[in-house]
A and B are shown apart, each in its own frame.
Chain A
Amino acid sequence: MSIRHGLLALLEPGPRYGSQLRSAFESRTGATWPLNVGQVYTTLNRLERDGMVVQEGADEAGHALYVITEQGRSELRAWFATPVDRANPPRDELAIKLAMAVGTPGVDIRAVIQSQRHHTVKAMQDYTRLKAQALAAIEGGGSSERDDIAWLLVLEQLIFQTEAEARWLDHCEMRLIRLSAAAGPAAPAGPEAPRAAADSGSTATARTRPGDGAAEPAVPTGRRGTRGPFRR
């Protein structure tokens, strides 16, 4: 998350002081990523050091006001114009956990998947209720419509992200069931299946590795040979 660029965006319309920036950041993103005032001032100091903002005067109450510089503006424009980098996927604990569960003896992968699915779907239920509230606020013509819309976008991003995770978990489970079914009738996809699935999963992967181009998901260009996107 880029606090730096977030603060620059909030300074673009005019001068503000630290705690004002903090509450503006939170109302725009619905307090999804809470900031403390300390973080705000640390970031402002760095921005000042880098010539992106200057401290200029104070309001009546004596709060030091910060103003965006021309250099800060061009940094902000560049930020909006540049896509967020996906070349180095962030380390994903869940992906690592499932990868480790394949082949760790005594781990019931389907139970690992289900406990995550529970958590993920639950989070989606909560986000969805918040979304219904945000939509109602927007349609009700609330006081700060811009913040409501920004918050709605953030919420929907959380919903799509958790959805992707839930779908991926479903996919993992189906794949394990298929692989264990393919491993033979001795390993039905019943309660005992996860171990069998896990084992056949790793052998199947090993078997298909040499000529796997078509069957396996595409590896991002430049990462072939690193065996998966999670290596840093």
Chain B
Amino acid sequence: MTTQPSLQPQKSQQPVLQLQQLTRIHGSGATEVHALRGVNLDVFPGELVAVMGPSGSGKSTLLTIAGGLDAPTSGRVIVERTDITKADRKAMAALRRRSIGYVFQDYNLIPALTAAENIALPRELDGTSARRARSEALAALEEMSLGHLADRFPDEMSGGQQQRVAIARALVGDRRLVLADEPTGALDSETGESVLALLRSRCDAGAAGILVTHEPRFAAWADRVVFLRDGAVVDQTARSEADSLLSGQAAER
């Protein structure tokens, strides 16, 4: 599965996600952990940002806060112009179901529901008819070549299959923001690659994405790679024009 090279993120547009001066302190006193120390990050429509950094550098913390699953100690999280740190619980829940797709580090399917039901549930909660939600779910499974698993329960699937179902769930419907924490963890490299191609094509179609990964080969699918260290952004790459690429360095080799 491949995608066309992505469009340049359109910086004139409003970012889908803005993280402003984000801090997160876990615990207090002697056991206090500064998981994030003043992180700023904007993610634009069409842009896929990879976050890399050593274990414990705050990647998952950043993603859970960006997805509204955890609250920052200070700072603002703005999703499509709404400051979600100020939104009430109901509005927050609706936003999470409707606009944000989330793939967790541990894939976290509901054990009592089949693959298709797991995918359809958030859509149904959001008012989509059961019939429509099911057909969307089947289409999402098909897209990941998992159609045959639609009626299996999580404990009847391999880790990699569960992971892909979780990804299908995160991508179903019209998600404006897709947050993926090590989505390729349980996958072989070929399957991991196809997941990345799928994420890439969602972003090319206009979604904003953040991908946390330890794998440079997967991070390389992103438009921008942000490096976290000890809860702070220490560096980031920008994309360049691929055409000019090999001419300069080739001479040195």
Query: Residues of A with Cβ closer than 8 Å to B?
Result: 1, 30-34, 114, 117-118, 120-130, 132-133, 135-136, 139, 159-160, 162-163, 166-167, 170, 173-174, 177, 189-190
Contacts and interface: CB of A to CB of B under 8 A. Distances in A.
A125 B220 contact: yes
A190 B246 contact: no
B234 interface: yes
A120 to B, nearest CB: 7
Contacts of B247: 31, 34
Q: Which of B6, B221, B242 has the most CB of A within 10 A?
A: B242
A114 B234 contact: yes
State the majority secondary structure of interface residues on B: loop
Nearest to A119: B237
Interface in B44-79: 52, 54
Interface of B: 2-6, 52, 54, 197, 200, 214-217, 219-223, 225, 227, 230, 234-235, 237-240, 242, 245-247, 249-251, 253
A135 B2 contact: yes
A34 B250 contact: yes
Contact of B220 (A32, A159, A167, A170): A159
A121 B5 contact: no
Contacts of B6: 129
Given A30-B246, A124-B217, A124-B219, A190 B230 contact: yes
B92 to A, nearest CB: 34
B250 A31 contact: yes
A9 to B, nearest CB: 20
Nearest to A162: B216
Nearest to A173: B54
A114 B246 CA distance: 22
Contact of A126 (B2, B4, B230, B240): B240
Given A170-B54, A170-B214, A190-B230, A34 B219 contact: no
